[in-house]
Amino acid sequence: MPPRSHRSNRRSFLKTFSAVTAIASLPALRSVWACVPTSHFDITTDSTTIQKFVALRDDTVMQSFCFDTAQNRLWTLQASHGGQTAGDLYLSWIDLSTWTTSSQYMSLKGFGHGQGFYIENSGSDTWVWVECDALADATSPYEAFGTKLCRFQWVSSSPATTIYSSTDTPGYTTGATIVSTADKYDLSPGCRHLTVTVDPCNSRMLIRSLESSVPWIRIYDLSDVKTNGLTATLLHHFTQMTIESDTTTSGAQVAEPLQGVALYGNFVYYISGFEKGHTGMGTTCSQPTAQPTYLYYQSTLPDDNHAGYSAPTTAGYSLPRREPEGIGVWQASSGSRLVLGFSGPADSTGCGANSFVSSFYSKDTLM
């Protein structure tokens, strides 16, 4: 199935290209593993299973992940028990040699939803870029989302280090570790739902935010942001492409929740979808198929009118209570891979279980 065409001109939707036209216009596939800005991952190909049922630091749902090839780690953010309304998260890492989760972790208090983050290595130090200063969302009262971007240093300690977003964070006591105000970046008043990711090849930072309920994409050079904050030169600024909708059992059209953002070369990638068995979607948690999860790519270039394309993916369809949770680019030894993350219960059926593990799949063809 060719990808569906979208245009992001103020989130309007243009008609779908015909199958014949779409297929005829596709460039020849290339087995290119370097970072080629003009190439994009083929989101329509079959997915490769990387690793299934990985136990994280806790048994809560993974929110996002970030590959760290310098240290051969896959870092994860996950919701903390009872902390979603406050924006509390756990940050930990997986050893990619064994796919086992380290006992090291940090507890992040009052940061946000954790839909994206970035791990920066600087000498022997590891730094974390993530949303912070969480506020509860009136449209999603059980979750909180970041309103600023921040950077802090990873601390490996036993017991784990707890870091607070600010002195206003619930539970903060005098003397506890907080994010320095000098390491916070305010995009603009009224921004919310901040998500950050970095292109692992070109070191460009993408920040997604909601402004007056419209999702915007901003792209900067990472080194410029480190030097000048968000007064850095804005390389690209455009609205996010339209996210697909699903039909509920009552016949209503409901937009799928966005579950992750990635940047690679001249393209932004998104993943969206509901949990299998989500109320009103007409699926059960253990059935072998699920309501669609969609993948997307969108051009960063104004010459392309920031054109976007979408296609459903069957990656991980058999997983119980399968829910997409994150998307990222892994510059593996075998080549660059667009990796999709999913969460689901650890037991065989998943129905009613509340102990979650994570599974990872990839799209490996650039075109």
Residue 353, pLDDT score: 67
**Does pLDDT of 7 surpass 80?**
no
Strand, helix or coil at 62?
Answer: strand
Pick from 71-80, 83-92, 242-251, 282-291: least confident: 282-291
Q: For residues 165 and 30, which has the higher predicted lDDT (pLDDT)?
A: 165
CA angle 272, 118, 320 (to 5 degrees): 35
Rounded to the nearest 10°, the torsion over CA 107, 110, 115, 117 is -60
Q: What is the pLDDT of residues 181-198, one digit of tens each?
A: 999 998 877 788 899 999
- What is the mean predicted confidence (pLDDT) over 262-272? 97
- The residues, ordered by sequence, that sit 6+ positions from 143 with a Cβ below 8 Å of its Cβ are 84, 85, 87, 113, 136, 137
Residue 306, pLDDT score: 94
**Does pLDDT of 95 surpass 50?**
yes
What is the rounded CA–CA span in Å between residue 47 and residue 267? Answer: 19
**pLDDT-based confidence at residue 200 (cuts at 50, 70, 90):** very high
Q: What is the pLDDT of residues 110-168, one digit of tens each?
A: 999 999 999 999 989 999 999 999 988 776 666 889 999 999 999 988 778 999 999 99
Residue 318, pLDDT score: 83
**Does pLDDT of 240 surpass 90?**
yes
Q: For residues 187 and 324, which has the higher predicted lDDT (pLDDT)?
A: 324
**pLDDT-based confidence at residue 235 (cuts at 50, 70, 90):** very high
- Does this model's pTM top 0.85? My answer is yes
Q: For residues 138 and 96, which has the higher predicted lDDT (pLDDT)?
A: 96
**Does pLDDT of 35 surpass 90?**
no
- The residues, ordered by sequence, that sit 6+ positions from 88 with a Cβ below 8 Å of its Cβ are 79, 80, 82, 107, 108, 109, 110, 111
What is the rounded CA–CA span in Å between residue 62 and residue 321? Answer: 13
State the average pLDDT for the chain.
85
With CA atoms as reference, report the closest residue to 297 among 263, 335, 330: 263
**Does pLDDT of 28 surpass 50?**
no
**Does pLDDT of 14 surpass 60?**
no
What is the rounded CA–CA span in Å between residue 188 and residue 288? Answer: 44
Residue 143, pLDDT score: 80
Residue 346, pLDDT score: 76
- The residues, ordered by sequence, that sit 6+ positions from 327 with a Cβ below 8 Å of its Cβ are 259, 260, 261, 262, 269, 270, 271, 295, 338, 339, 340, 341
Residue 142, pLDDT score: 67
Residue 350, pLDDT score: 61
- The residues, ordered by sequence, that sit 6+ positions from 181 with a Cβ below 8 Å of its Cβ are none
Q: What is the CATH number of domain 4-363?
A: 2.120.10
**Does pLDDT of 90 surpass 70?**
yes
- Per DSSP bridges, beta strands 177-178 and 161-164 are parallel
Domain boundaries, the chain: 4-363
Residue 197's φ and ψ, nearest 5 degrees, are: -150, 160
Residue 5, pLDDT score: 75
Pick from 59-73, 167-181, 340-354: least confident: 340-354
Q: What is the pLDDT of residues 269-294, one digit of tens each?
A: 999 998 876 766 666 666 655 567 99
**Does pLDDT of 57 surpass 50?**
yes
Residue 299, pLDDT score: 96
| Alpha carbon separation from 122 to 153, 223, 367 (Å, rounded) | 10, 12, 33
**Does pLDDT of 330 surpass 80?**
yes
DSSP state of 344: E
- What is the mean predicted confidence (pLDDT) over 197-215? 93
- What is the mean predicted confidence (pLDDT) over 350-356? 72
CA angle 64, 65, 69 (to 5 degrees): 170
